[in-house]
Amino acid sequence: MITLAGVISAIRQLPSSDKLKLIRILAEELESNEQIFPFEQGKTYCLATPYNSFEAAEILMNSLKTSDTDK
């Protein structure tokens, strides 16, 4: 049985092009595992952003002003 340390040691000896191929292979495997990456390709998902969050901006601005006066 090969250990993680053994795998890492072997990976470090690979040329850069093979390391990139390995990254792609691992990413594809992670993508196919629905428990890790549950998003469906081509589907649109809503994502909360700070845009138009004026109350949050005011709180942040007040916090920054307070921290400036504390110095």
Q: What DSSP string runs through 27-68? A: HHHHHH-TTT--PPTT-------STT-HHHHHHHHHHHHHHH
Check if the beta carbon of residue 62 is closer than 8 Å to that of residue 68: no
As a whole number of angstroms, the distance between CA 35 and CA 66 comes to: 43
Instruction: Please give the mean pLDDT across all residues of the chain.
Output: 85
**Structural domain boundaries of the chain?**
4-69
Tell me the pLDDT tens digit for each residue of 30-68: 877 767 667 777 888 888 887 888 888 888 899 998 877
The pLDDT value given to residue 71: 61
